[in-house]
Amino acid sequence: MNVTTPSQEKSTVEDTSAEATKGARRSRVSGIDRALQVIDYLYETGEPAGAYAIAKAIKAPLSTVYVIIDDLVDKNMLARNSEGAIWLGARLYHYGLAYARSLDFMGVATHEMHDLCRQTSETVQLCGRDGDHMLVLAMADGPSHFQVASRVGTRVPLNWTASGRLLVGHLPDGERVELFKRCARISPTGRAEIDAKSLSSAAGKAFEERLSLQIAESDYAVACIASPICDRSGQPVATISIVLPEQKVLSDMPHYSERVRASAEQIEKLMGWRGH
């Protein structure tokens, strides 16, 4: 006679639970895959279709396709026309517009980034905000041997950089203070400001002036001068910045200020976010 111990029973229950969890996960993924198959079929054929035609094309049970279609219609991902046929919904159109805008922006901004790099013979970066951090989105290396530690994909605390302050400078003062209380960190050089109120004040002023400067706050002997790129509503989408040896920016601050501001404004004009 086989006797099952309590530990064996527990193991069996855990195995069964794990299998159930895996099954549920497979079911969810399958549901997502089916929804994408429906959307892909409509996109590829380029015309509205009925549930039966869709089910037949993607080789799915008709009852399953009905449930998926109803759910996607409720979420505005799909729409029914006057004849009951299914077509792509307005929500997908808005997603597409947002994606297209992001592609347009990066294309325009990257082109201007390389132009600024040629004009100044210095390294130029495009940076954005990633939560409590600044993120390097794109970069054009200057022709000199000056090496910049922050490469594309680098994330650093907002209080370490000129761009980080600009990216939150549009927020209300109280919100900026709370943000910097949470995210300000001591930099490797120890020169980055960490007082939340001082940071908030500096961020607000920099955004208003469309110019922010940091010198040796994140890296020794490295300076950065940045300007915000703002959309129609005045919200900063990203920044464009020149990264160079600190003695250069100190010796010719007006030159670099004028150049980086002009580049930010040019991107905004090309994107249709500011008057020509």
* pLDDT of res. 221: 85
Q: Is the pTM of this model over 0.85?
A: no
Domain 101-270, second-level architecture: 2-Layer Sandwich (3.30)
Helix, strand, coil percentages in the chain from 3-state DSSP, rounded to 5: 55, 20, 30
* pLDDT of res. 231: 93
Q: Which residues, listed in sequence order, are joined to residue 215 by a DSSP beta bridge?
A: 223
In angstroms, the CA 113 to CA 241 distance is: 9
Kindly compute the dihedral angle of the four CA atoms of residues 242, 246, 251, 256, in this order, to the nearest 10 degrees.
10
Nearest Cα neighbor of 195 from 232, 235, 159 is 159
* pLDDT of res. 275: 64
In angstroms, the CA 202 to CA 160 distance is: 12
**Predicted confidence (pLDDT) at residue 104 exceeds the cutoff of 80:** yes
Pick the CATH number of 6-88 from 2.40.110.20, 1.10.10.10, 1.10.3080.10, 1.10.3720.10: 1.10.10.10
Mean residue pLDDT of the chain comes to: 87
Chain region(s) in the chain for CATH 3.30.450.40: 101-270
